[in-house]
Amino acid sequence: MKRYAILYVATFVVMLPLDLLFLGTIAKGFFNAQVGDMLGEVRLAPAILFYFLYIVGILVFVNSAPDATWRSTLLYGALFGFFCYATFELTSLSLLKHWTWPVVMVDISWGTVVTAVAATLGLLLANWVESKL
């Protein structure tokens, strides 16, 4: 149980700043240009809930194996991110009038990368912390 708590926190502290940097700075102009008319104020409770649940998903589907390596975590993190973000993006594209293919491609790509990186660095950080305990 201690292992999963360390892994959860380690993955969270990698994922959240990366995603906030991307969404709040790097891609902000792109998303505003593409679907800005659909964007409103960020509702904090659902956003926080997403991160808490998504990190659980990473732990369950990517980092749950006790013998997980950085290579397997990178691969399965990328796949998990790809499928999760593709599910959201393609559903949005099918239902929302102003959703665009460029948004779909950028966000699926980002989800793939950020999940792979967060899962892998989270694993490496957790392993490092555990070695110090």
Q: In the structure, what pLDDT confidence band is assigned to residue 115 with cuts at 50, 70 and 90?
A: very high
pLDDT of residue 26: 96
Tokens of 115: 């999940």
CA-CA distance, 122 to 110, in Å (whole number)?
17
pLDDT of residue 66 exceeding 80:
no
Asked if residue 15 lies in contact with residue 114, where contact means CB atoms within 8 angstroms, the answer is yes
11-50 pLDDT tens trace: 999 999 999 999 999 999 999 999 988 888 889 999 999 9
What is the pLDDT of the chain when averaged over all its residues?
A: 94
Distance CA(14)–CA(128), nearest Å, equals: 14
What is the number of structural domains in the chain? 1
Which region among 62-66, 67-71, 96-100, 123-127 has the lowest average model confidence (pLDDT)? 62-66
* Burial label, 120 (beta-carbon count in 10 A; 0-12, 13-18, 19+): buried
Whether 120 and 95 have beta carbons less than 8 Å apart is answered as no
| Alpha-carbon gap, residue 114 to 51, rounded angstroms | 12
In the chain the first and final C-alpha atoms are separated, in Å, by 15
Model pLDDT, residue 124: 95
Structural domain including 36 reads 2-132
- Give the model's pLDDT for residue 110: 98
pLDDT level of residue 85 (50, 70, 90 thresholds) = very high
At 40 the pLDDT is 80
